[in-house]
């Protein structure tokens, strides 16, 4: 992946943001909400991209809580899953995520890939699995972590420093495209995904900073499970 391809990924991500939230990517990033809420909305876009080939969109009459999405993506049944998904990059990414996460959650190794998708279920759940797969590189590999922190220093985002809301243009101007290409070259699963997914990851890192990303991503799976339990009991 080169910078031109990644730049196109930012444009596709912006189009998806408008379809899901009826807001541009810049509007999502500058919305008067917490950085954590912005990251949740951005992460959900990644979940949509990962889930699209084996899910069917449903337009909502009112925006969902807490992301403000105007679409929900319903996972297809097992038969359609195999028919629709096996030739897509998303299918290969799901396979890789299942392999990577099985070492931490051993029961996942016994799931079919469809069961793994059902376990992720919601768009935010798909992103939770993806973020957990990335953690060992961005948070656990000192060389990669230092490189990301160096890139974020241009916006004062290394560590947990607070800065004014950023925009896609400032990210690109501060070396976001170069950072994206570096991550693709050094994190195997990113070489498998589409450019909008890489663009979203870069935006999330610039929005949160490395420390906050590492703390947040460690708890995404648990937070998603707890939210699902609350929803099911209500």
Per-residue pLDDT at 163:
47
- Asked if the model's pLDDT at residue 181 lies above 80, the reply is yes
DSSP state of 23: S
- Asked if the model's pLDDT at residue 59 lies above 50, the reply is yes
* Higher local confidence (pLDDT), 87 or 126: 126
Q: What is the dihedral of CA 47, 87, 60, 40, to 10 degrees?
A: 0
- Residue 3 neighbours by CB distance under 10 Å: 13
Q: pTM (2 decimals)?
A: 0.87
| Cα distances (angstroms) measured from residue 199 to each of 43, 63, 66, 74, 219 | 11, 24, 22, 24, 22
pLDDT digits (tens, 9 = 90+) for 213-222: 999 988 887 5
- Any bridge partners for residue 56, and if so which? 74
Tell me phi and psi for residue 28, to 5 degrees: -60, -40
Q: Are 161 and 209 in contact (CB under 8 A)?
A: yes
Q: Are 199 and 10 in contact (CB under 8 A)?
A: yes
């Amino acid at each position: 992946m080169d910078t031109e391809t990644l730049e196109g990924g930012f444009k596709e991500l912006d189009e998806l943001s408008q379809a899901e939230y009826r807001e541009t990517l810049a509007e999502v990033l500058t919305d008067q909400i917490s950085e954590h809420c912005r990251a949740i909305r951005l992460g959900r876009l990644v979940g949509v991209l990962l889930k699209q080939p084996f899910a069917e969109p449903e337009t909502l009459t009112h925006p969902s809580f807490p992301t403000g999405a105007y679409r929900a993506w319903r996972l297809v049944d097992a038969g359609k899953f195999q028919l629709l998904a096996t030739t897509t990059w998303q299918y290969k990414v799901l396979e890789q995520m299942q392999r990577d996460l099985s070492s931490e959650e051993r029961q996942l190794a016994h799931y079919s890939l469809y069961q793994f998708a059902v376990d992720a279920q919601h768009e935010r759940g798909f992103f939770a699995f993806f973020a957990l797969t990335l953690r060992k590189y961005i948070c656990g590999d000192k060389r990669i972590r230092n490189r990301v922190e160096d890139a974020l220093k241009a916006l004062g985002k290394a560590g947990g420093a607070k800065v004014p809301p950023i925009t896609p243009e400032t990210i690109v101007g501060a070396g976001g495209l170069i950072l994206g290409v570096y991550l693709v070259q050094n994190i195997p699963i990113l070489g498998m995904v589409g450019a909008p997914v890489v663009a979203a990851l870069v935006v999330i890192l610039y929005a949160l900073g490395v420390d906050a990303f590492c703390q947040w991503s460690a708890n995404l799976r648990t937070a998603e499970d707890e939210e699902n339990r609350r929803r099911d009991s209500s």
